[in-house]
Chain A
Amino acid sequence: QKEVEQNSGPLSVPEGAIASLNCTYSDRGSQSFFWYRQYSGKSPELIMSIYSNGDKEDGRFTAQLNKASQYVSLLIRDSQPSDSATYLCAVKDNAGNMLTFGGGTRLMVKP
């Protein structure tokens, strides 16, 4: 069974700090990796996708992928209170379109 693991948190960081969110996955055949943000009572919204080993930066967000270690992370620089949400890691294999979601990490950014 394919598994995606995240620390449920809450992860609490002060405003302006770097928030580091981590995710591990079990299926070595996984090819595509996504980070979604979900505010309470809302549906997930895509933050970033990453497909190759290394770092991918988009504004304040950096996704990091290490396929050998089956590890993907999301860094949020200059964290803002508005970043407070649950962050979902999702993994897709090359067999189809199905995403497997982690349980999510709740991030709290304190002013």
Chain B
Amino acid sequence: GAVVSQHPSRVICKSGTSVKIECRSLDFQATTMFWYRQFPKQSLMLMATSNEGSKATYEQGVEKDKFLINHASLTLSTLTVTSAHPEDSSFYICSATSGGEETQYFGPGTRLLVL
């Protein structure tokens, strides 16, 4: 099946710093990638949708200047949390689809802790 990786799996940073999370599709070309955030005991909340080579589409309430998304190639999307604060601590998960395929394949997630 399709494999999506994320790096790092876990990151701890100081308040005010920026953190970059990578999402890679390993064995397929991901025309569309999605970024989700999940707080404890809650469901996944879509943050943004990115298509290769174009600007990401952000969901309502998600600050595009704080959560920078780059989808520069068909196998890589990055999410940069700028000036992170403790309330940004969460589980960030990416997913990817290929062409007209229906299924989203999820990465293993990145746990961010901002001190």
Contact = CB atoms under 8 A, between A and B. Distances in A.
Interface string B75-99: 0000000000000000001000100
B106 A44 contact: yes
Interface string A35-68: 0100001111110010100000000000000000
B13 interface: no
Contacts of A92: 102
A101 interface: yes
B44 interface: yes
Contact of B43 (A32, A45, A51, A102): A102
Contacts, number: 44
Contact of B44 (A41, A44, A45): A44
A97 B104 contact: yes
Nearest to B6: A43
Given A42-B108, A43-B93, A103 B103 contact: no
Contact of A43 (B32, B49, B109): B109
Interface residues of B, number: 18
Given A42-B109, A43-B93, A43-B109, A99 B104 contact: yes
B67 interface: no
B44 A88 contact: yes
A37 B112 CA distance: 22
A25 interface: no
Given A44-B44, A103-B42, A97 B106 contact: no
Interface in B23-69: 32, 34, 42-44, 46, 49
16 contacts: A34-B103, A36-B106, A42-B109, A43-B93, A43-B107, A45-B106, A46-B103, A46-B104, A46-B105, A46-B106, A49-B102, A88-B44, A97-B104, A101-B43, A101-B44, A104-B43
